[in-house]
A and B are shown apart, each in its own frame.
Chain A
Amino acid sequence: MTEASLIGLFVATVSFGALLYLAALGELLAEKAGVLNLGVEGMMAIGAVTAFIVGVEFKNPWAALLVAMLSGAILASVHGFFTVGLGAEQVVSGLSLTILGLGLAAYLGKDYVGLPPGAELVPVEWAGFSDLPWVGPIFFNQAPIVYLALLMGIAVSFVLSSTRLGLALRAAGESASSTDSAGHSVLGLRLSAVAAGGALAGASGAYLTLSITPQWAEGLTAGRGWIAVALVIFGAWRPGRVGIGALIFGGTLALKTRLQPFGVDFSPIILSMLPYVLTLAILLIISIQARKRPSPAPFGLGLPYRREER
């Protein structure tokens, strides 16, 4: 194992970590407001394909990112309309969203499979830092979306903990009726949280086609949306812990393709199970602790709200 390949592993860990973090932050926002959205995989796929198409057609990576976020938000709003607006079952609607998103992405992208990318988000050079040994390439020579992910993490954390909006949003996820009687619009809060979550999932997808891969092929997201969903549980619905989890899970993704070159005889399939095994372990810990303290899961997660007209 050479030093270069080890640095390569860490570089990939951070970049996969950022990819997962963006999507997981989006899911966290929606779940904090009380809406489980299992459509992350579909929203990522839509973000990936629209970003790629806009890149090829207009050669502007930032426009591509913006369009990806918009598409993610629109797709998420479909879920919001059914679950928040009509009170539909969130699991069913979310699963449908994944299938719809994957199918729609395959359809939209069928003429773009294998094309060279029209626009890429190239790694940012931080003068003076990027040349440092180890930390330089790992932290200071990444694609701009990595820094976006970090920024979003700080922003989401701040909004949730120290603003009126965040307080109301968390309240909507805990007890919709209390939130309503305090004069906040549960409908508005939940719809915007779901849409914002969709935008972040779209950005995560865009990162794939604008930087990591950067190409379009059907099935490009490869289950990473599901890892993001698991990540929210793993991080106990806290933006900071989800960030740490993103690095761990990102590490398993990075390691998967590098096992053989390192000469380790270990099945990559077992490695891809790791995020889910870890999540199950966390769930176990949460339920053991639940005897002493309430679960960190939003209490109203998955429960539709309709004001009682008594």
Chain B
Amino acid sequence: MNILAGVYRPDNGELKIHGQPHQFRNPADALNAGIGMVHQEFRLIPSFSVAENVILGSAARVLRNKQVELEVSELAERFGLKVDPSQPLWQLSMGERQKVEILKILWRNAQVLILDEPTTVLTPSEVDELGEILTKMAEDGRSIIFISHKLHEVSGICDEATVLRQGKTVASALPIESTDQRELAQLMVGTSASTADRPEPNTPGGPLLELDRLSALGDRGLEAFSNLTFQVNAGEIVGIAGVAGNGQRELADVIAGLRPSTAGSLSMNGSDITEASPQFRFKSGLAYIPEDRLGVGLAPRLSITDNAILRVYRQQRRGPFILAEKALAYCKDIVQRFGVRSADLDGPIAALSGGNLQRLLVGRELDGQPSVIVASQPTRGLDVQGVKAIQELLIEQRNSGVAVIMISEDLDELLTIADRLLVMESGLIRGEFDPRTASRDEVGMAMLSDGQATTGI
């Protein structure tokens, strides 16, 4: 989609508009050719008025503010977009800001609109409103590409669907009216049931981590997840499946203590840690492997050694000074035990490959002999070898009695190594499955259907 909108350039292939081949060097080119995109992160200026934001790309040399506002509001009314053009943008809700983004594209008279996951920032009533607006634009003769992983939205709003999985088109131009939701879900999650290499089952012990009606807000102040109640027992891997952006990242942050919860409680080894600091949680045996390795997990410009001792530097010091030799020895130990391949332990950690980065991070986190591990997308972006190594480490931990939460978007991975599978969607648990017996279809429906379909337990 970013290629269509002129953000990325294609490696090969051809793009045709009305039968004419086109090449875009930047987003402005794409807009001039009539293609506009509403990105997930809005490109708006908070201190500008709605009208100023709309006309920024194509304004007259001299602006008559009143007249511009009038024109913008006329355009808005034509498509049923309710916004006040003179209002400063920072006062608007996310839903209203999205309308401004759409107006921007309409103002440039784009014939093709691309909306990338437009509903993730909207409340349910705003989603309905968006659907009406899009229908009006389609009736006006414009083409709309609506990217979503929510089946009921696709079937409610769209005329036909194209399914992409792992960069490939698996089905194109399916007429929505004659396509079953279950059929779509199947296409989206695939059918390649791989049951290879399932680890030996393990008898789980008592609960180590317990969530009781836990809720938290996301970055934009909307509810990220609510009322989550589940427990993770010693010696089991609980997989959290779901499409990214359904509250998993926030859940991991809350458990690690990096994000405050708004309701409910969290306890570890029987003691309440809802309000505990990340440092305290770490000391009492929580290991966190964050999704954003270089941003949250490691400090990219510090050396490998410095990163290795980030958690435990208090043990490598005398008074206020870090003992370099002791730190180095500690780092060498981790590097050796977890198979990090690196030439220069004093070099910046950002120079390591993805797999080695993750080995070091996981090694550092597992070194303290944790009792609970929260691993967020621990194998994403790694090569086959790296994936296998990390999975084996987690299974090894499980076998030694550690409670593991593994959040992943890779359903196959979870079906292979998890002992229990929870499906998260829109911040809620939509189903619990036994990976040994669960069917991909059912899990897929739970992941994609916004609670509209019944889920198996």
Q: Which residues of A contact B (CB under 8 A)?
A: 161-165, 167-168, 170-171, 174-175, 177-184, 293-294, 296, 299, 310
A183-B28, A293-B90, A310-B7 given; A164·B46 CB < 8 A:
no
In the bound assembly, the distance between CA atoms of A286 and B273 in angstroms comes to 38
A181 touches B43 (CB 8 A): yes
B56 A294 Cβ-Cβ under 8 A: no
CB B27 to nearest CB in A, in angstroms, measures 4
- The reply to whether B45 and A164 contact each other, CB–CB distance below 8 Å, is no
Closest CB in chain A relative to B434 CB, distance in Å = 41
Per-residue contact bits, chain B 39-83, to A (CB 8 Å; 1 contact, 0 not): 000011111100010011111111111000000000000000000
A181 partner, pick from B27, B46, B48, beta carbons under 8 A: B27
Find the A residue at minimum CB distance from B43: A178
Known: A163-B61, A164-B63, A184-B57. 13 other contacts (CB 8 A): A162-B62, A164-B59, A167-B52, A168-B59, A174-B48, A175-B45, A179-B56, A181-B28, A182-B43, A183-B28, A294-B90, A299-B45, A310-B7
Q: Which residue of A lies closest to B6 (CB)?
A: A181
Chain B facing A: main interface SS:
loop
Q: How far is the CA of A214 from the CA of B364 in the complex (A)?
A: 70
Flag whether B280 is at the interface (Cβ < 8 A). Answer: no
Alpha-carbon separation in the docked complex, A179 to B45 (Å) = 9
Q: Does B255 contact A (CB under 8 A)?
A: no
Whether a CB of chain A sits under 8 angstroms from the CB of B8 is yes
Contact residue among B27, B58, B63 (Cβ-Cβ distance under 8 Å from A163): B63
Minimum CB–CB distance for A3 against chain B, Å: 45
**Contact present for B60 and A164 (CB under 8 Å):** yes
Residues in A whose Cβ lies below 8 Å from that of B59: 164, 167-168
Instruction: Give residues of chain B (275-308) contacting chain A, Cβ–Cβ below 8 Å.
Output: none
Residue of A nearest to B57 (CB): A182
- For the complex, give the distance between the alpha carbons of A135 and B57 in Å: 46
Q: Does B113 belong to the interface (CB within 8 Å)?
A: no
Do A175 and B43 contact each other (CB < 8 Å), given the known contacts A167-B52, A170-B48?
A: yes
Task: State whether B45 touches A174 (Cβ < 8 A).
Answer: yes
Q: For the complex, what is the distance from the CA of A170 to the CA of B55, rounded to whole Å?
A: 13
Chain A residues contacting B55 (CB-CB under 8 Å) are 167
Residue among A170, A177, A183 with max Cβ neighbours from chain B (10 Å): A183
Question: Are B31 and A183 touching (Cβ within 8 A)?
Answer: yes
Whether A178 contacts B56 by the Cβ 8 Å rule is yes
How far, in Å, is A170 (CB) from chain B's closest CB?
7
Inter-subunit contact A174/B28 (CB<8 Å): no
Q: Which residues of A contact B44 (CB under 8 A)?
A: 175, 178
Q: Which 9 A-B pairs have the closest CB atoms?
A: A183-B28, A182-B57, A164-B59, A178-B43, A174-B45, A181-B27, A182-B56, A162-B63, A175-B45
Complex: how many Å from CA A310 to CA B9? Answer: 9
A182 to B48, CA, bound (A): 14
Chain B contact-residue range equals 20 to 34
Chain B residues in 8 Å Cβ range of A296: 47
Which residue of the partner chain, among A162, A183, A294, contacts B46 with CB atoms under 8 Å? A294
Which residues of A lie under 8 Å from residue B60 when comparing CB positions?
Answer: 164
Q: Is B90 within 8 A of A162, CB to CB?
A: no
Q: Which residues of B contact A161 (CB under 8 A)?
A: 65
How many Å lie between the Cα of A171 and that of B48 in the bound state? 8
The listed residue with most A CB atoms (<10 A of its CB), out of B52, B55, B56, B62, is B56
Q: How far is the CB of B34 from chain A (nearest CB, A)?
A: 14
Q: How far is the CA of A179 from the CA of B31 in the complex (A)?
A: 14
Contacts of B27 in A (CB 8 A): 181, 183
Q: A179-B56, A182-B56, A310-B7 are in contact. Are A163 and B62 (CB under 8 A)?
A: yes
B47 / chain A contacts, CB cutoff of 8 Å: 174, 294, 296, 299
CB-based contact A164/B52 at 8 Å: no
Given the complex, which residues of B lie within 8 Å of A174, measured CB to CB? 45-48
Q: In the assembled complex, which residues on chain B have CB atoms less than 8 Å from the CB atom of A167?
A: 52, 55-56, 59, 63
Query: CA of A178 to CA of B45 in the docked complex: distance in angstroms?
Result: 7
Q: A162-B63, A164-B59 are in contact. Are A171 and B45 (CB under 8 A)?
A: yes
B166-206 CB contacts (< 8 Å) to partner A: none
Which A residues are CB-close (under 8 A) to B57?
A: 182-184
| Docked complex Cα distance between A175 and B42 (Å) | 11
Q: Which residues of A contact B52 (CB under 8 A)?
A: 167
User: Which residue, B28, B45, B55, B63, has most C-beta atoms of chain A within 10 A?
Assistant: B45
The answer to whether B64 touches A162 (Cβ under 8 A) is yes
**Smallest CB separation, B36 vs chain A (Å):** 11
Query: How far is it, in angstroms, between the C-alpha of A258 and the C-alpha of B63 when the chains are bound?
Result: 46
* CA–CA, A201 and B428, complex, Å: 60
Per the bound structure, the CA–CA distance linking A171 and B46 in Å amounts to 10
Some 14 contacts from A to B, beta carbons below 8 A apart, are A161-B65, A162-B62, A163-B61, A170-B48, A171-B45, A171-B48, A174-B47, A179-B56, A180-B26, A181-B26, A183-B28, A296-B47, A299-B47, A310-B7
Q: In chain A, what residue has the closest Cβ to B59?
A: A164
Residue ID in chain B nearest A159 by CB atoms: B62
Q: Which residue of A lies closest to B64 (CB)?
A: A162
B residues within 8 A CB of A294? Answer: 46-47, 90
Inter-chain contacts of B63 with A (CB < 8 A) = 162-164, 167
A177 to B28, CA, bound (A): 12
A132 to B: closest C-beta gap in Å: 36
Collect the chain B residues with CB atoms within 8 Å of residue A181's CB.
26-28, 43
B104 — nearest CB in chain A belongs to which residue?
A: A182
| Residues of the B chain whose Cβ atoms lie less than 8 Å from the Cβ of A177 | 43
